[in-house]
């Protein structure tokens, strides 16, 4: 009778979280390989906020004129809208990666079912997709901050913190997008998050004008959304309206992202393991 000797597991030289990170890295690598054939999708995504900046910021800006910041200074409309479009550009990158791609991988391509046969677990998949989506969102953020710099729209020295700040935005949106995609069942379901959440957020979160013109209840509703906190945080940094309140936005985005990530991980587990 053969005796099966299980190899004694060698003690891990690093904490568990590092192990998960090292495994999740493979998923990022996989996504990079896939995108080598459709880089146009990522590349073209950068132009959407740029066109908005040119069309709305400069074109419509000639009619709107200057806008008053919360500290009473006047800035051009382009300088007012640009940080909001930076937030939106980060959100776009995060969402098109998580909501769309994860949905197809989960339901049609069965990528994760295949991945689970490898040493990667559910947590590694969630972390890997989060990392990759944050990389994509950050690519857009870097490119857009570059555009703002060239166009002279970074009007405060605090703007050097704008890029690190976008990491909190992309964490919040990537995690929220991951969680959302696990709740969608058919392609038609996409209309719900886009029509009822993302589009209204884009239009009403202080993107194009200060939210002060709304009645109070609407202002409260707006202040619950993550995009509002991103816009306020980034606008504060690029225009130099800086105070402790910016840390509130950072904290909100961090907590929002972490909670969404816990939900996403749980939902992925129930979807993938029957």
Partner 1 sequence: MTALRVAQRNLWVYRRTWRGSVFGSFLNPLLYLGALGVGLGSFIAAQDTTALGGVGYLQFLGPGLLAAACMQTASFEATFPIMGKISWRHNYEAMLAAPLSVRDLVLGEISWMAVRLTTMALSFMVVLTLFGIPTSPLAVLGIPAAVLTGLAFFAAIMGFTATQKNDSGFAAMFRFVINPLFLFSGTFFPVDRLPDAIEFVAALTPLYHGVGLIRGLVLQTPELANWPIHLAYLVAFTMVAGWLAYRLLHRRLVK
Separation between Cα atoms, residue 227 and residue 94, nearest integer Å: 12
Q: Which has the closest alpha carbon to 207: 226, 186, 182?
A: 226
In the list 17, 18, 142, 199, the residue contacting partner 1 (rule: CB under 8 A) is 199
Residue 273 in the binding site for partner 1 (CB under 8 A): no
In the list 41, 151, 197, 259, the residue contacting partner 1 (rule: CB under 8 A) is 41
In the list 45, 83, 226, 257, the residue contacting partner 1 (rule: CB under 8 A) is 45
Tokens of 273: 């393991």
Separation between Cα atoms, residue 139 and residue 117, nearest integer Å: 31
Q: Closest CB to partner 1 among 171 and 211?
A: 211
Chain center to CA of 262:
16
Q: Tell me the window of 1-9, 129-137, 208-216, 258-266 that interacts with partner 1 (CB under 8 A).
A: 208-216
Residue 203 in the binding site for partner 1 (CB under 8 A): yes
- Contact track, partner 1, 156-195, x by CB under 8 A: --------------------------------x--x--xx
Residue 139 in the binding site for partner 1 (CB under 8 A): no
Provide the 10 A C-beta neighbour count for residue 270: 10
120 Rama sector, left if φ>0, alpha if ψ -120 to 50, beta otherwise? beta
Least distance CB 115 / partner 1 (angstroms): 24
In the list 18, 22, 47, 220, the residue contacting partner 1 (rule: CB under 8 A) is 47
Q: Tell me the window of 18-26, 57-65, 119-127, 236-244 that interacts with partner 1 (CB under 8 A).
A: 57-65
Residue 62 in the binding site for partner 1 (CB under 8 A): yes
**How big is the site for partner 1, counted in residues (CB under 8 A)?**
32
List Cα–Cα distances, 274 to 24, 268, 271, in angstroms. Answer: 22, 11, 7
Strands (E), the chain: 66-68, 74-76
Check if the beta carbon of residue 230 is closer than 8 Å to that of residue 91. Answer: yes
Residue 209 in the binding site for partner 1 (CB under 8 A): yes
Exposure b/e, 14-44, CB count within 10 A at least 16 = b: eeeeeebeebbeebbeebeeebeeeeeeeee
Query: Which residues in this chain contact partner 1 in the complex, by CB under 8 A?
Result: 38, 40-41, 44-45, 47-48, 51-52, 54-56, 59-60, 62-65, 67, 188, 191, 194-196, 199-200, 203-204, 208-209, 213-214
């Amino acid at each position: 009778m053969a005796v099966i000797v299980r190899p004694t597991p060698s003690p891990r030289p690093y904490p568990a979280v590092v192990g998960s990170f090292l495994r999740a890295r493979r998923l990022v690598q996989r996504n990079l390989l896939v995108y080598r054939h459709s880089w146009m999708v990522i590349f073209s995504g950068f132009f959407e906020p740029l066109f908005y900046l040119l069309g709305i910021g400069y074109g419509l800006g000639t009619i709107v004129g200057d806008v008053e910041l919360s500290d009473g200074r006047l800035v051009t409309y382009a300088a007012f809208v640009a940080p909001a479009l930076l937030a939106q550009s980060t959100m776009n990158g995060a969402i098109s990666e998580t909501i769309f791609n994860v949905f197809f991988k989960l339901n049609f391509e069965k990528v994760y079912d295949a991945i689970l046969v490898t040493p990667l677990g559910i947590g590694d998949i969630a972390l890997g997709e989060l990392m990759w989506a944050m990389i994509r969102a950050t690519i857009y953020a870097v490119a857009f901050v570059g555009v703002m710099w060239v166009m002279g729209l970074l009007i405060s020295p605090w703007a050097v913190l704008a890029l690190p700040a976008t990491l909190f935005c992309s964490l919040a949106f990537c995690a929220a997008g991951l969680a959302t995609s696990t709740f969608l069942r058919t392609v038609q379901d996409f209309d719900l998050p886009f029509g009822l959440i993302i589009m209204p957020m884009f239009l009403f979160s202080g993107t194009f004008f200060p939210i002060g013109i709304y009645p109070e209840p609407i202002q409260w509703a707006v202040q619950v959304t993550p995009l509002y906190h991103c816009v306020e945080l980034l606008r504060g940094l690029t225009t130099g309206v800086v105070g402790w309140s910016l840390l509130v936005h950072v904290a909100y985005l961090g907590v929002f992202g972490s909670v969404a990530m816990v939900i996403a991980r749980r939902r992925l587990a129930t979807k993938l393991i029957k």
